C-alpha cells in the first residue's frame, strides 16, 4: 500500500497482513524518521501517557525532512488515548505522515476514522466468508426505513442467531455516503459509534434484539 495521504487507517483482523503493510510503508519511508506506538510488554492497551510521548515526536523537527508515525493497533488504545491523538492528526506539518493499523474496527472511535483515509484488507483465510443476500438486503432496507414499523421486520432478520456479526458488517457496508439528506457526516459517525457499542454489548452476552434497540433509537430520534 502506498502512503499518499497524511493519515491512513488500515483495518484487517490478520495481524500478519498489518505487519506486512507497516513494513512496506517503512521501506517507502526508508530515509525518513520512523516512530512506532505499541502496547508495552504484557500490557493489554495503549495508554494516554504513551500517546503523549508518541505525539510529541510528531512535532519534532525531522532529521531527514519527513516523519512516519505508525500505530501498531489503534483498537487496543483506550478511548482517552484515541481522543488524545486527534489534534495531532489534524495539526502536524505536511512532512509528517501517520499509518494507523487496527484489528478491530468497532473499537476505533468515529472521530479517529473521520480524520483518516480508510483501507479495509480482506484476510485470505476469510475470503470464502460471504454475507447472505437476505442480510445485505435487510441492512439496506433498515437504513432506508422511514418509520419504526418499516424497520422492525428487518431487525428480526439481522438479529437472528449466528447472523449478528455478519449483520454488523452488512450495516457498515450499507451506510450511505454522507450527503445533504439524513446521512450527514455527523449522522453517519453516530451510527458507526452505535454499531461499535452493539458489538461490545453482544460480546458481553447482551440479548441481540435489546442491543439493536440502540440503533433503532439513533435512526429514529
162: left (phi over 0), alpha (psi -120 to 50) or beta: left
Q: Which residues contact 49 (CB under 8 A, 6 or more apart)?
A: none
Q: What angle do CA 19, 23, 26 make, to 5 degrees?
A: 140
> How many Å is the Cα radius of gyration of the chain?
19
Least confident of 34-48, 112-126, 188-202: 112-126
Interval 28-42: pLDDT, tens: 998 899 999 998 877
CATH code of residue 113: 3.40.50.300
Calculate mean pLDDT across residues 120-125: 58
Asked whether 106 and 204 are in contact (CB, 8 A), the reply is no
Same domain, 107 and 145: no
User: Does position 93 have pLDDT exceeding 90, yes or no?
Assistant: no
Range of the structural domain that residue 81 is part of: 7-126
The pLDDT value recorded for residue 133 is 93
Same domain, 83 and 151: no
Provide the H-helix boundaries in 145-175. Answer: 148-158, 164-174
User: Does position 181 have pLDDT exceeding 80, yes or no?
Assistant: no
Same domain, 20 and 113: yes
CB 72: neighbour CB atoms within 10 A? 20
User: Does position 78 have pLDDT exceeding 70, yes or no?
Assistant: yes
Same domain, 32 and 85: yes
Same domain, 64 and 91: yes
The pLDDT value recorded for residue 99 is 96
Domain count, the chain: 2
Same domain, 11 and 77: yes
Amino acid at each position: 500500500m502506498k502512503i499518499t495521504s497524511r493519515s491512513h487507517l488500515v483495518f484487517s483482523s490478520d495481524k500478519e497482513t498489518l505487519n506486512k503493510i507497516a513494513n512496506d510503508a517503512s521501506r517507502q519511508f526508508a530515509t525518513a524518521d520512523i516512530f512506532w506506538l505499541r502496547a508495552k510488554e504484557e500490557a493489554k492497551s495503549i495508554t494516554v501517557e504513551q500517546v503523549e510521548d508518541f505525539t510529541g515526536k510528531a512535532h519534532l523537527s525531522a532529521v531527514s525532512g519527513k516523519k512516519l508515525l505508525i500505530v501498531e493497533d489503534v483498537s487496543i488504545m483506550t478511548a482517552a488515548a484515541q481522543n488524545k491523538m486527534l489534534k495531532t492528526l489534524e495539526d502536524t506539518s505536511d512532512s509528517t505522515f501517520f499509518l494507523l493499523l487496527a484489528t478491530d474496527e468497532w473499537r476505533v472511535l468515529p472521530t479517529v476514522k473521520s480524520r483518516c483515509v480508510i483501507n479495509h484488507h480482506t484476510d485470505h483465510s476469510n475470503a470464502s466468508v460471504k454475507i447472505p443476500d437476505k442480510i445485505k438486503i435487510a441492512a439496506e432496507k433498515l437504513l432506508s426505513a422511514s418509520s419504526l414499523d418499516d424497520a422492525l421486520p428487518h431487525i428480526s432478520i439481522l438479529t437472528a442467531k449466528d447472523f449478528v456479526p455478519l449483520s454488523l458488517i452488512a450495516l457498515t457496508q450499507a451506510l450511505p455516503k454522507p450527503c445533504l439528506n439524513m446521512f450527514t457526516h455527523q449522522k453517519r459517525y453516530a451510527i458507526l459509534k452505535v454499531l461499535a457499542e452493539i458489538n461490545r454489548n453482544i460480546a458481553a452476552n447482551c440479548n441481540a434484539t435489546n442491543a439493536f434497540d440502540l440503533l433503532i433509537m439513533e435512526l429514529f430520534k
